[in-house]
Structure 1
Amino acid sequence: MLSTLSAFYGHLTEVGVVPANPAALNRSRLGLSSTARDASPTIRLTASQLRALLDAAARLPNRTRHRDLYSARAVAVVALLTLGLRVSELVGLDRDSLVVSGGEPMLRVLGKGGIHREVYLTQLAANALRDYLTEGDRTSKASTPALRGRTSAGRTPLIATRDGGRCSRFDVNALLRRIAVQAGPALADVADRVHPHALRHAYVTIALEQDARIQHVQADVGHATISTTQYYDRGRRTRDTTAADLVEAAINAAGDVRRTSG
């Protein structure tokens, strides 16, 4: 029964109907109730494949006059998804969601149930976001439609469409599929099944493979089953209580291997 439900939610996630598969994480390793036979239908991307997605995003074909902005946005989307964000959280981010706390850049993310959490930016994600925002600001000076991204409350989406509006889940799903196809052999077998939750799933699995503390991973991804103790521990979130840097190191190491073998 549970595996059937998992497969069903996996399909809904892939087609973008729901943002995440509630059975996608390795529940036994996260200390959740599970059976030994519980398996996730979500594809398991490796650090090398995440690196391939980032590289492909940077060279994504685009014939519009804003091709630099287009590729910068593609890289930023992939980089942010490698932080374990849900697609709904990504598209809900505003420019003022990007803050600095204790000298560290982070995102204030609105997760499920209206719960906010702090997501630390890796250097990889910070650089990608800086490049995208810089290019976006440069482009918007000569393109007034970019102002349409502002709502009546003055909110400006962090990741925007070409005309400055807020990206939808469909936009992100479609972009990620194009990037996966562009990645070539590295993702040839799974390109048609790459979706935002696959990157979130990869964040968790890679972090655990790098021996990150489970509590840190749960806090990073904002999992609904964080214990009461962990809830009260949120006030002490520091750079040392995130697995993001471990995942980034794995992605960068995979990139070094790809360049050496190429």
Structure 2
Amino acid sequence: MNHLSTLITDYLRNCQIRKRLNAKTLKAYKIDLSQFEKFMSNYSSPFCKDALNSYISDLHQKYQPKTVKRKIAATKAFFHYLEFEEFLPENPFNKISLKFREPKLLPKTIPPHVIETFLSELYKKKKEAVTTYQKKCSLRNIAVVELLFATGIRVSELCSLKSENIDLINHTVLIFGKGSKERLLQITNMDVLSALNEYYSFFCKEILSCGYFFVNRLGSRLSEQSVRFMLDRHAKASDISLHITPHMFRHSFATLLLEEDVDIRYIQQILGHSSITTTEIYTHVSTQKQKNILMNKLPRNHMSIRK
């Protein structure tokens, strides 16, 4: 198995240096392939079809379909590399059926009135702040939530924003998404711009020193987990029973745009989805839009029937 371990190490190095995958993706690949290596210690050859089928079956027994799909994709990409670099004469995945039914889970959204309540609580905390520390925390929390909801940005993208990625003069944010894909979004809402400007004025020194736009109390990059804790804490303070996560702001942003008749192709570009299929899930969520259509456009409404 030492040979397999070496190949995995070489592959991960290739992903880092030549593919330039981000640290989060590399970490996931490393975990998935380490698990694959450990499982294959029971087999004389990790590259035969039977061994791979056993591994895939084991994944299905242990994990949910979405996790299984990700782990198989990581392993399949590794085998594609081995075939391309001619470490393998033939890729055994070519002869394995990987189709399985994955349940479609609708994205969880936050009702607009709940978002209003949540933001109102954050601005209330800012007014009630009695110390500089409390004021700064409030300003950062407001800026984080306003940007999440104004752009549909992923929390990982938000926490990775560098100081030069947000142009407060031209009102733009440059986002580096999955696969190192860039997208430039306009920040048009004046309340959002005001929140970002006020945050920057209080954190300018820490931002310039750290290099990241959103910083924690120690002056380092704000972590995704810190954002999740903050949202959970303020939801409870606002007596909101709904468990709010950063990604729910993204889902709500997309759903509400769709309900405002924004073309799904534009929503795809704004969210940074590589495939329109990913964006189309929001067409199943827009129940309010569906209700409005059936109330106002239903052909039966315009018929006069004698009774």
Q: Does 1:96 align with 2:164?
A: yes
Contact 1:148 1:164 in 2 (8 A): no
**Residues 98 and 114 of structure 1: CA distance in aligned 2, closer, same or farther (over 3 Å):** same
State, as a whole percentage, how many aligned pairs show the same letter. Answer: 25
Alignment of structure 1 residues 115-130 onto 2, 5 Å = 115-123=181-189, 124-130=191-197
Partner of 2:171: 105
Q: Does 1:182 align with 2:247?
A: no
Match of 1:56 among 121, 126, 130: 121
Q: Quick one: which amino acid aligns to residue 120 of structure 1? A: Q
Q: Which has the larger radius of gyration?
A: 2
Deviation at 1:224, TM superposition (A): 2.3
- Secondary structure (helix, strand or coil) at the match of 2:171 reads strand
Match of 2:249 among 193, 199, 216: 199
| TM superposition score normalised by structure 2 | 0.52
Contact 2:207 2:214 in 1 (8 A): no
**Residues 38 and 97 of structure 1: CA distance in aligned 2, closer, same or farther (over 3 Å):** same
Q: Quick one: which amino acid aligns to residue 86 of structure 1? A: R
**Distance in 1 separating the partners of 2:171 and 2:184:** 10
Report the structure, 1 or 2, having the larger helix content.
2
Structure 1: gaps of 5 or more residues: 10-34, 141-145, 151-155, 228-262
Contact 1:43 1:198 in 2 (8 A): yes
**Distance in 2 separating the partners of 1:105 and 1:112:** 23
Deviations 1:45-90 (A, max 9, x none): 1222222221122234877641111111111010011020001100
Contact 2:207 2:215 in 1 (8 A): no
- Secondary structure (helix, strand or coil) at the match of 1:198 reads helix
Contact 1:46 1:206 in 2 (8 A): no
- Secondary structure (helix, strand or coil) at the match of 1:118 reads strand
Partner of 1:66: 133
Deviation at 1:94, TM superposition (A): 1.2
Contact 1:57 1:78 in 2 (8 A): no
Deviations 1:3-48 (A, max 9, x none): x646x69xxxxxxxxxxxxxxxxxxxxxxxxx9x8332x4321222
| TM superposition score normalised by structure 1 | 0.61
**Distance in 2 separating the partners of 1:84 and 1:56:** 21
Q: Quick one: which amino acid aligns to residue 174 of structure 1? A: F
Contact 1:91 1:168 in 2 (8 A): yes
**Distance in 1 separating the partners of 2:172 and 2:213:** 13
**Distance in 1 separating the partners of 2:154 and 2:174:** 13
**Distance in 2 separating the partners of 1:117 and 1:79:** 18
Deviation at 1:104, TM superposition (A): 4.3
Would you say how many aligned residue pairs link Structure 1 and Structure 2? 178
- Secondary structure (helix, strand or coil) at the match of 2:199 reads helix
**Residues 215 and 104 of structure 1: CA distance in aligned 2, closer, same or farther (over 3 Å):** farther
**Distance in 2 separating the partners of 1:96 and 1:157:** 8
Structure 2: gaps of 5 or more residues: 1-59, 69-100, 278-307
**Distance in 1 separating the partners of 2:192 and 2:177:** 19
Deviations 1:208-243 (A, max 9, x none): 01111111111111012159xxxxxxxxxxxxxxxx
- Secondary structure (helix, strand or coil) at the match of 2:122 reads helix
Contact 1:45 1:198 in 2 (8 A): yes
**Residues 206 and 147 of structure 1: CA distance in aligned 2, closer, same or farther (over 3 Å):** closer
**Distance in 2 separating the partners of 1:148 and 1:216:** 33
- Secondary structure (helix, strand or coil) at the match of 1:66 reads helix
Aligned-residue Cα RMSD (Å) equals 2.7
